């Protein structure tokens, strides 16, 4: 399937149900035991961590850093120009929530701040008003994400794109992590990498187990979902780096680490929380070991009050996160999702891949730690055997 | 008509006599009464007029930073009381209590103590009671100030330097309160020194009861971490009908039964941040404790349970509660009933609020308001408001007079009469010493070559010379003179001159009896009259003991043959490192260099070898105070930034601040110098933008960042210079003055456009090592962005070496990948470097699918030339190198622990021979918490909070270090464990120091277990550094607002007589049911302790901690336990066994079997950080940290309970049984008589402890051999008919007579 034609529902939650349903059968007892044993291998959690997994804690507690929009102009802005800027200034696009962005206007006739003037000159165009988009200050990234005349299309391009809308929709739907797969355009390499990712993530959804959320953490307001309110769900979102509709978003991802722009490799960005990209896996870096590590981290217990101490870059997304969280917790999810789906359907969407739990793939070059895994499996086998024996 | 007038006059006079005195009420103690209600029946005149003003100097509070100022405000202003016609005032600077005439303000008398008087006196029945930092409760006559009696609270006359004054080691800072004819006070603010709480008969001074057993209580501290750190009295005591409240300094108060002294509650852990302080007041159901500024919170009196109401310091009048407040209209006074406001009136009571008769009086910032109360509790009105320029902070009403005390030192008296007010002020009366005295003083100062610090003057003579020395130097002089009259004259003269307490004090005594603090004196001058006394070796030693190392001088005015005589005396007295020289008319005894067996602490981990150990062997447990107070934490980095620890060398503590370096005297804490820098470049490394400088708020904090755990220290200290990295250069400061001596610039590298950066810093002999540019992985490899970039500063791109004196560049070598700062060590003329990438950079390579480097290395370089000596590139892992110069062994390891870099690893060890790089041994799978300590021939691993260490390993062969369990006789791995601790364990020759709730230690000599120095905490930086003969504990807790009892700098030295309590880790690897070979059961003891003879004494009942169980059961009707401080006991056996025990026991059964302890579980993270704010910041490790924390890894190495099959009974074996007795009460012979049987066999008949010991509190030991024990030992007690008191026992010691295990 080529990029940008169809949206598929991710179905990790169904994968969870599937495992549950299979529990009635004897072989499933074995699988369950195996899953428990293997998941224990991944849950190396400290006693003092809270019980909320990282991806959820990030959604609940980590406000997204604000991107910086600067509009350069000379003299007063017209009413129409001011209206153009409104979506950048806390109002959001028409009918949509606000984005994590702040706006600064610079009147070149009055403001002679050398730093700002230097930024303006760097744009390399005399057309005014001009829009400049920069990463959040906290990120310390200096790349220009967008630079051009202030137009309605530019504002739209900066704030919105199908892939970003889809990310929001999936997180709103309950996806734990949306794995954004950035294609190179080289089908063979893309497919190979996507296959590795899809298979491994599918496998991981069967063996990873979310921590049980403790009542105390719910009472403390660390999380707004009930004890069993979380499901482990991964989905893959494929996107072509040359897709014009995603140009700002692709640039945002490709500039998030200094070497990415130069790499002509498929890339994978685990996106969680309020649209935070953990980091990039690229080329052969998309492998079992790195996927396991990223997935284990994001689904593990969090003790992450201090967002800044954790890796990741907040993406520029248009979303009412507080509303989404509330909708998830108070049961108004259906309505919300409907709205999101309607909005998403209105735009061209990137290709998505459904991650469903499946059997463990053939051992790759980097597997789970062999000895502990074997030990876990042995324990599980013994346990399953015990269950079988009792059943008999 | 005339007759009628006379009659009227008589009637009036009689009326005055009857009515006047009946209405006249004293204000006999702080806040009027024993409840500290601030409410008096005294009806003041309708209108008040200023009568007189007494102007003194403003008070300087005892503590010295904003938070302590707020929490402990007890000596912020004068706190007078009034008895009859006298105003009685304590002075915290001139060490006296003064009586003023209430009507005129004129001074009537002054009584001097031996230390600051910081609390309001108590007046009762023509007597005045007050406490002093000299440790005493005094009783003097109110009329003449003559001493009636005095009582020392502490166990000896030992002095310390406390808050820059020489005071008792047990200062009486539990301010006195009087109720029902008893005065209550307390001595000692440091639980580890023992704390002493007294009820004293006010008439006779006889002790009614003393509780000195609560200092070492094993209780939960902030963070819910259990520690030996109990009650720490500091604040004015409160006596309710049945309960005595003892304020706890910065913490909440403790409660005792007022009639018996029995401990009731001290809920330190649950008080949380922002609650606690010296202000305590109570009614009969609740008490009120300081929160912030003038706020209070309510607590249930009986239970200590915290309420939720916060108000300003209240006036308590029965059930009525009046308090100051504000609303949008401004300041007001309100009456409150629970949560209901009964009335509010507009009045400024921001200074103080009291009730006198039917009026409230409110002192504001510039006004005085009288509020009339009415019969209707729902109404009140402002009677009048008058200006009060400058405001007042304390009001008191007595005998028709309202006294207003203000911050500027004024005491103003308001009365009924409209008079021309008098202003009284004492001007300093400086006396000019004669020329001869001045000349002599100058010659003394020249001979001693000192002009700052402390001088001890033994024999003040007429004081003229002493005053001349003061006038011609900056010395603080402590005069000790046996002649009381001379002392009195000198005190009054110095006081009149404005010098007393500020530059000099005088005390009755001599060198031996005064017990001055060790090492305090830069100069000791022996007065001519006292020279003969020093001919006694004991006196000479006592004087010399107080001389400061590194050049302190004692000067004796002798000449001719007397010089030779004293030279011989000094030699005979074997004074440590004393050098005798002579000058015209003087013999000088100089204490040269460092203390014997002492050593330095330089570098981040103690030395350039990263041994994490000080070689100081002088410091050992037990420890006692040397000094406390002094420079606050305001000159120190925020604690959660994990900045470098202090470095200690040459008698100086070198300490880094936000933008400064300072040096303090190791032996007094005195600030020697401070050098400010424009920018040390440490923002983002040792502190960051999360630092908030709001000391009075619970938001005052800095998030946890690895700080120097990652970057390493940015400075290194030597005896003559301090080398500080600033940007691309090293600034060389003069160690004596702090002034810049030289700048050593790191030159740019060829082709490096980014400019030089000085990364690592270290010093091997005269070779100054420089990290040649930071590794900057972010630039090199890119990174997912985050604000914390300490990883970038954790390694250097190369290494350069300079001559430390000339600054000449000697050599520079590039790293292949990066030289990890924690992996650069040196010794024996060689530099060792760990050249590799950290885990985070490797992760990045993995995420790109790039192969990891295969040529990491450990490289050895010649220190002089930088030439490679050898390198190893096989199995290179880890993040840490340390080097044992002693054994020429290089250890490659990790240093994973809390609050360190995420890149750290905690697995694997390889030992190389330092000379040639040969692998001595290797264990790549060994798991542990770091940093590892190289302790002579051992590698000691560390322990995170609520964990046991993985143990110790032999440096030369890597095998586990086993020690004999003194209980079972079996070998088991050595381990140490601790409660909450945000720093790493560091070592000295005899001690491990760390945080375990409070300040913690492990005594390597006795192997008693983990103990505490209760009453303060160590920092998140490992700041408990043993060096220069002292356990240095500078206050590194900046940004901490937890309610630990004290927050200040201090230093400790070995004091063998002090208590030492611990929980032992012996048995962590034992098998349940193993037979005990030797044990002591210490009844009522605060903890465990191992005796010098090897017996491990376990507390019973067990107080907790990770210590094993030996089953004991006790029966007896009304049996109860007692505990005194060990310093109160003497006689046979061990005083710390004799000082506690069990009373009225009938049988004691001991099963000599061991049951393994379990490691104390940590409180939940939320509770753990309860005092850190809403969500806490105590553990802000990252999510990733939590997935790979060594806690999980260490689980494998911590013991698990083994399910063992029931074992066969142990065969009967003969034991020697020792019974330890001491009588805890003042019993007479014949009052406590009992018999004892072992295994049913009588062994003691009609035993009378006091009769045998000769006195109460004296130990008696009785030994019985050949007692056959099968499963249990049963001890039976029988009270003798007619005995007044039941049996008593302090301890039982069991010693198997034959070895029970094959060793």
**With contacts defined as CB-CB under 8 Å, which chain B residues touch A265?**
849
Any B CB within 8 A of A218 CB: no
Residues A250 and A307 in one domain: yes
Domain final residue pick, A160, A175, A200: A160
Please tell me which of the candidates B847, B1183, B1187 has its beta carbon nearest to residue A290: B847
Query: What is the C-alpha separation between B85 and B82, in angstroms, rounded?
Result: 7
- A277 versus B431: which is more confidently predicted? A277
Predicted pLDDT at B1167: 39
Please tell me which of the candidates A45, A139, A286 has its beta carbon nearest to residue B1186: A45
B782 with A259: Cβ contact below 8 A: yes
Predicted pLDDT at A357: 46
Q: For residue range A326-372, what is the model confidence (pLDDT) as tens digits?
A: 888 776 554 554 455 444 444 444 455 545 444 444 444 433 333 44
Number of helices and strands in chain A (H, E): 14, 11
**With contacts defined as CB-CB under 8 Å, which chain B residues touch A266?**
none
How far is it between the farthest Cα atoms of chain B? 123
Residues A281 and A382 in one domain: yes
Q: For residue range A96-128, what is the model confidence (pLDDT) as tens digits?
A: 788 999 999 999 999 888 888 888 888 888 899
Residues A54 and A137 in one domain: no
CA distance B988 to chain A (A): 31
- Residue linked to tokens 């057309």: A127
Query: What is the C-alpha separation between B789 and B685, in angstroms, rounded?
Result: 8
Domain final residue pick, A160, A179, A195: A160
Domain of A360? Answer: 3-61+163-391
The encoded tokens of residue B417 equal 């009469």
Residue B551: which of B439, B447, B664 has the closest Cα?
Answer: B447
Residues A282 and A354 in one domain: yes
Angle among Cα B563, B566, B571 to the nearest 5 degrees reads 130
Any B CB within 8 A of A145 CB: no
Domain final residue pick, A114, A138, A160: A160
Average pLDDT over residues A266-284: 96
Predicted pLDDT at A51: 81
Please tell me which of the candidates B690, B782, B850 has its beta carbon nearest to residue A258: B782
Domain count, chain A: 2
Query: What is the C-alpha separation between A158 and A249, in angstroms, rounded?
Result: 8
Residues A233 and A121 in one domain: no
Distance of CA B463 to the CA centre of its chain: 35
A309 with B1166: Cβ contact below 8 A: no
Q: How many CB atoms lie within 10 A of CB B376?
A: 9
Residues A100 and A46 in one domain: no
Least confident of A280-284, A299-303, B904-908: A299-303
With bands split at pLDDT 50, 70 and 90, how would you rate the model's confidence at A382?
low
Residues A214 and A325 in one domain: yes
Question: ω before B843 within 30° of 0 (cis)?
Answer: no
Query: What is the C-alpha separation between B1234 and B1250, in angstroms, rounded?
Result: 12
Predicted pLDDT at A349: 45
Predicted pLDDT at A124: 83
Asked whether B246 and B277 are in contact (CB, 8 A), the reply is: no
Residue B715: which of B644, B614, B650, B663 has the closest Cα?
Answer: B644
B1180 with A309: Cβ contact below 8 A: yes
Residues A154 and A167 in one domain: no
Between positions 15 and 54 of A, the ones with CB within 8 A of B are 44-50, 54
State which residues of chain B have pLDDT below 50: 1-3, 5, 8-22, 784-788, 1165-1202, 1303
Please tell me which of the candidates A138, A216, A256 has its beta carbon nearest to residue B787: A138
- The CATH number of the domain holding residue A138 is 3.40.30.10
List all residues 6 or more positions away from B298 whose beta carbon is below 8 Å from its beta carbon.
B286, B287, B288, B306, B307, B308, B309
| pTM more than 0.90 | no
A300 with B1186: Cβ contact below 8 A: yes
Please tell me which of the candidates B783, B1180, B1184 has its beta carbon nearest to residue A306: B1180
CA nearest B1170 in A: which residue?
Answer: A220
Residues A21 and A77 in one domain: no
Predicted pLDDT at B329: 84
Please tell me which of the candidates A49, A305, A308 has its beta carbon nearest to residue B1177: A305
Predicted pLDDT at B1: 41
Residues A170 and A155 in one domain: no
**With contacts defined as CB-CB under 8 Å, which chain A residues touch B1188?**
44
Predicted pLDDT at A132: 95
Query: What is the C-alpha separation between B493 and B159, in angstroms, rounded?
Result: 24
Using the predicted structure, report yes or no on whether residue A13 has a pLDDT greater than 50: no
Residues A350 and A226 in one domain: yes
Residues A229 and A105 in one domain: no
Please tell me which of the candidates A48, A285, A286 has its beta carbon nearest to residue B1165: A48
Q: Give me the count of residues in chain B.
A: 1303
**With contacts defined as CB-CB under 8 Å, which chain A residues touch B1187?**
44-46, 296-297, 300-301
Query: What is the C-alpha separation between B1253 and B1287, in angstroms, rounded?
Result: 15
A57 with B849: Cβ contact below 8 A: no
B849 with A256: Cβ contact below 8 A: no
Residue A325: DSSP 8-state:
H
B784 with A278: Cβ contact below 8 A: yes
- DSSP SS3 for B1113: strand
Any B CB within 8 A of A303 CB: yes
Cβ burial B75-97 (10 Å sphere, 16+ → b, else e): bbbbbbbbbebbbbbbbbbbbbb
Between positions 278 and 297 of A, the ones with CB within 8 A of B are 278-287, 289-290, 293, 296-297
Predicted pLDDT at B1161: 84
B→A contacts (Cβ < 8 Å), by residue, are 690, 703-705, 779, 781-788, 843, 846-850, 946, 1161-1162, 1164-1166, 1168, 1175-1177, 1179-1189, 1191-1192
Residue A135: which of A312, A324, A349 has the closest Cα?
Answer: A312
Query: What is the C-alpha separation between B859 and B1057, in angstroms, rounded?
Result: 49
Question: ω before B1101 within 30° of 0 (cis)?
Answer: yes
CA distance B1177 to chain A (A): 8
Predicted pLDDT at B879: 97
Predicted pLDDT at A219: 76
Query: What is the C-alpha separation between A10 and A178, in angstroms, rounded?
Result: 9
**SS3 labels along B534-587:** HHCHHHHHHHHHCECCCCEEEEECCCCHHHHHHHHHHHHCCCCCEEEEEECCEE
A257 with B846: Cβ contact below 8 A: no
């Amino acid at each position: 399937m080529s990029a940008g034609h169809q949206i598929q529902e991710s179905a990790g939650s169904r994968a969870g149900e599937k495992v549950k349903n299979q529990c009635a059968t004897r072989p499933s007892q074995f699988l369950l035991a195996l899953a428990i044993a293997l998941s224990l291998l991944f849950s190396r959690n400290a006693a003092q961590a809270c019980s909320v997994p990282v991806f959820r804690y990030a959604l609940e507690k980590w406000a997204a850093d604000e991107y910086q929009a600067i509009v350069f102009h000379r003299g007063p802005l017209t009413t129409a120009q001011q209206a153009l800027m409104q979506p950048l200034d806390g109002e959001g696009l028409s009918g949509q929530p606000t984005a994590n962005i702040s706006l600064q206007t610079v009147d070149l006739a009055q403001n002679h701040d050398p730093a700002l003037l230097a930024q303006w000159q760097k744009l390399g165009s005399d057309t005014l008003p001009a829009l400049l988009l920069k990463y959040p200050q906290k990120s310390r990234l200096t790349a220009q994400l967008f630079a051009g005349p202030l137009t309605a299309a530019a504002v739209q391009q900066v704030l919105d794109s199908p892939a970003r809308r889809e990310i929001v929709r999936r997180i709103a739907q309950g996806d734990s992590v949306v794995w954004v797969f950035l294609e190179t355009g080289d089908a063979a390499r893309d497919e190979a990498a996507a296959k590795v990712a899809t298979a491994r993530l599918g496998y991981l959804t069967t063996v990873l187990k979310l921590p049980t959320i403790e009542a105390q953490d719910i009472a403390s307001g660390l999380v707004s979902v009930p004890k069993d309110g979380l499901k482990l769900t991964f989905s893959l979102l494929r996107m072509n780096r040359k897709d014009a509709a995603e140009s700002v978003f692709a640039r945002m991802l490709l500039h998030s680490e200094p070497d990415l722009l130069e790499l002509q490799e498929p890339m994978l960005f685990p996106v969680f929380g309020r649209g935070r990209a953990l980091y990039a896996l690229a080329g052969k870096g998309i492998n079992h070991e790195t996927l396991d590590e990223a997935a284990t981290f994001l689904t593990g217990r969090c003790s992450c009050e201090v967002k800044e101490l954790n890796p990741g870059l907040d993406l520029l997304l248009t979303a009412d996160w507080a509303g989404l969280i509330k909708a998830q917790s108070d049961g108004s999810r259906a309505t919300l999702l409907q709205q999101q789906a309607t909005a998403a359907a209105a735009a061209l969407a990137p290709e998505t891949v459904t991650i469903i739990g499946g059997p463990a793939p053939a051992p790759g070059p980097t597997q789970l730690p062999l000895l502990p895994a074997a030990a876990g499996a042995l324990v599980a086998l013994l346990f399953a055997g015990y269950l079988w024996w009792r059943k008999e | 008509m005339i007759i009628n007038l006379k009659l009227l006059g008589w009637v009036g006079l009689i009326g005055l006599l009857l009515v006047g005195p009946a209405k006249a009420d004293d204000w006999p103690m702080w806040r009027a009464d024993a409840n500290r209600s601030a409410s008096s029946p005294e009806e003041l005149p309708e209108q008040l007029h200023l009568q007189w003003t007494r102007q003194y100097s403003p008070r300087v509070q005892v503590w010295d930073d904003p938070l302590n100022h707020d929490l402990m405000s007890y000596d912020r202003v004068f706190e007078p009381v009034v008895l009859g016609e006298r105003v009685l005032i304590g002075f915290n600077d001139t060490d006296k209590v003064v009586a003023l005439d209430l009507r005129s303000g004129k001074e009537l008398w002054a009584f001097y103590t031996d230390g600051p008087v910081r609390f309001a006196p108590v007046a009762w029945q023509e007597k005045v009671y007050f406490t002093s930092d000299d440790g005493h409760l005094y009783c003097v006559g109110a009329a003449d100030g003559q001493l009636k009696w005095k009582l020392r609270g502490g166990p000896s006359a030992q002095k310390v330097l406390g808050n820059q004054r020489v005071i008792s080691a047990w200062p009486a800072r539990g301010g006195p309160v009087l109720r029902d004819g008893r005065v209550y006070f307390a001595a000692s603010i440091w639980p580890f020194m023992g704390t002493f709480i007294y009820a004293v008969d006010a008439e006779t001074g006889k002790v009614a009861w003393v509780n000195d057993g609560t200092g070492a209580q094993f209780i939960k501290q902030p963070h819910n971490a259990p520690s030996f750190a109990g009650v720490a009295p500091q604040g004015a005591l409160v006596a309710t009908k049945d309960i005595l409240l003892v304020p706890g300094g910065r913490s909440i108060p403790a409660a005792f039964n007022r009639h018996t002294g029995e401990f009731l509650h001290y809920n330190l852990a649950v008080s949380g941040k922002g609650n606690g302080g010296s202000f305590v007041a109570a009614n009969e159901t609740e008490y009120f404790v300081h929160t912030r500024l003038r706020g209070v919170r309510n607590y249930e009196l009986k239970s200590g349970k915290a309420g939720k109401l916060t108000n300003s310091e209240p006036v308590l009048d029965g059930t009525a509660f009046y308090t100051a407040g504000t609303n949008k209209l401004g300041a007001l006074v309100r009456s409150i009933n629970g949560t209901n406001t009964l009335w509010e009136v507009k009045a400024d009571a921001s200074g103080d609020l009291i009730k006198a008769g039917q009026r409230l009086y409110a002192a504001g910032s510039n006004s005085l308001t009288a509020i009339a109360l009415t019969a209707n509790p729902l109404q009140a009105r402002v009677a009048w408001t008058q200006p009060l320029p400058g405001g007042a902070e304390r009001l008191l009403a007595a005998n028709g007079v309202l006294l207003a005390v203000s911050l500027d030192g004024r005491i103003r008296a308001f009365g009924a009469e409209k008079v021309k007010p008098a202003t009284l002020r004492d001007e300093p009366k400086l006396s000019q010493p004669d020329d001869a005295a001045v000349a002599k003083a100058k010659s003394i100062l020249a001979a001693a070559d000192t002009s700052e610090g402390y001088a001890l003057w033994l024999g003040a003579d007429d004081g003229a010379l002493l005053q001349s020395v003061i006038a011609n130097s900056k010395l603080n002089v402590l005069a000790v003179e046996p002649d009381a009259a001379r002392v009195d004259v000198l005190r009054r003269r110095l006081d009149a001159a404005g010098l007393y307490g500020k530059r000099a004090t005088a005390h009755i005594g001599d060198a031996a009896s005064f017990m001055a603090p060790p090492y305090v004196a830069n100069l000791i001058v022996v007065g001519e009259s006292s020279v003969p006394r020093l001919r006694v070796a004991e006196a000479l030693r006592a004087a010399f003991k107080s001389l400061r190392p590194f050049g302190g001088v004692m000067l004796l005015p002798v000449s001719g043959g007397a010089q030779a005589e004293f030279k011989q005396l000094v030699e005979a007295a074997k004074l440590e490192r004393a050098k005798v020289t002579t000058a015209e008319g003087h013999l000088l005894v100089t204490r040269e260099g460092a203390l014997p067996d002492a050593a330095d602490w330089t570098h981040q981990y103690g030395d350039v070898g990263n041994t994490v150990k000080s070689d100081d062997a002088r410091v050992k447990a037990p420890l006692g105070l040397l000094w406390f107070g002094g420079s606050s934490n305001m000159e120190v980095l925020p604690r959660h930034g994990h900045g470098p620890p202090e470095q200690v060398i040459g008698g100086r503590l070198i300490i880094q601040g936000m933008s400064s370096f300072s040096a303090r005297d190791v032996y007094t804490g005195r600030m020697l110098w401070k050098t400010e820098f424009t920018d040390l470049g440490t923002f983002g490394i040792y502190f960051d933008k999360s630092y908030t400088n709001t000391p009075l708020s619970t938001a005052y904090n800095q998030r946890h960042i690895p700080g120097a755990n990652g970057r390493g220290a940015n400075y290194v200290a030597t005896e003559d210079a301090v080398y500080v990295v600033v940007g691309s250069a090293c600034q060389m400061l003069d160690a004596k003055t702090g002034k810049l001596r030289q700048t050593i610039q790191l030159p740019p590298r060829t082709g490096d456009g980014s400019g030089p950066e000085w990364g690592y810093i270290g010093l091997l002999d005269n070779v100054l090592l420089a990290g040649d540019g930071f590794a900057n992985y972010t630039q090199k490899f890119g990174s997912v962005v985050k604000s914390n970039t300490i990883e970038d500063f954790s390694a250097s791109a190369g290494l350069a070496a300079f001559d430390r004196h000339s600054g000449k560049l000697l050599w520079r070598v590039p790293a292949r990948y990066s030289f990890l700062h924690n992996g650069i060590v040196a010794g024996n003329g060689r530099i060792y470097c760990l050249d590799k990438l950290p885990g985070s950079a490797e992760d990045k390579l993995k995420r790109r699918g790039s192969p990891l480097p295969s040529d990491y290395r450990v490289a050895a370089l010649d220190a002089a030339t930088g030439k490679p000596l050898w390198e190893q590139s096989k199995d290179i892992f880890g993040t840490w190198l340390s080097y044992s110069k002693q054994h020429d062994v290089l250890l490659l390891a990790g240093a994973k622990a809390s609050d360190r870099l995420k890149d750290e690893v905690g697995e694997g060890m390889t030992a190389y021979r330092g000379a040639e790089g040969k692998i001595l041994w290797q264990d790549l799978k060994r798991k542990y918490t770091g940093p590892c300590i190289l302790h002579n021939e051992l590698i000691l691993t560390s322990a995170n909070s609520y964990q046991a260490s993985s143990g110790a390993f032999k440096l030369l062969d890597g095998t586990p270090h086993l020690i004999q369990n003194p209980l079972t006789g079996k070998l088991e791995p050595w381990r140490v464990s601790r409660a909450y601790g945000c720093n790493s364990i560091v070592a000295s020759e005899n001690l491990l120091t760390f945080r375990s709730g409070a300040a913690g230690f492990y005594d390597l000599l006795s192997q008693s277990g983990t103990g505490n120095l209760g009453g303060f905490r160590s920092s998140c930086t490992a700041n408990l550094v043993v060096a220069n003969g002292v356990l240095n504990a500078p206050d590194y807790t900046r940004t901490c607002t937890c309610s630990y009892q004290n927050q200040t700098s201090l230093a400790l030295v070995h004091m063998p007589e002090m208590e030492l309590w611990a929980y032992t880790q012996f048995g962590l690897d034992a098998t349940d049911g193993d037979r005990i070979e030797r044990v002591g059961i210490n009844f009522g003891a605060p903890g465990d302790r191992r005796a010098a003879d090897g017996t491990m004494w376990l507390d019973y009942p067990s107080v907790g901690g990770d210590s094993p169980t030996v089953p004991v059961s006790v029966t007896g009707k009304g049996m109860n336990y007692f505990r005194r401080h060990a310093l109160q006991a003497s006689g046979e056996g061990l005083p710390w066994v004799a000082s506690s025990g069990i009373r009225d026991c009938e049988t004691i059964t001991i099963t000599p079997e061991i049951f393994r302890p379990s490691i104390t579980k940590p409180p939940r993270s939320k509770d753990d950080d309860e005092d850190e704010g809403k969500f806490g910041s105590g553990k802000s490790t990252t999510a990733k940290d939590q997935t790979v924390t060594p806690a999980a890894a260490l689980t494998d190495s911590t013991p698990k309970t083994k399910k063992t099959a029931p074992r066969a009974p142990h065969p009967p074996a003969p034991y020697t049984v020792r019974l330890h007795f001491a009588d805890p009460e003042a019993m007479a012979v014949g009052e406590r008589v009992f018999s004892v049987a072992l295994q049913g066999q009588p062994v003691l008949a009609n035993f009378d402890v006091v009769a045998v010991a000769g006195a109460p509190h004296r130990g008696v030991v009785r030994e019985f051999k050949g007692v056959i024990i099968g499963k249990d030992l049963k001890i039976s007690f029988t009270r003798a008919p007619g005995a007044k008191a039941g049996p008593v026992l302090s301890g039982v010691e069991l010693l198997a007579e034959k070895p029970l295990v094959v060793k």
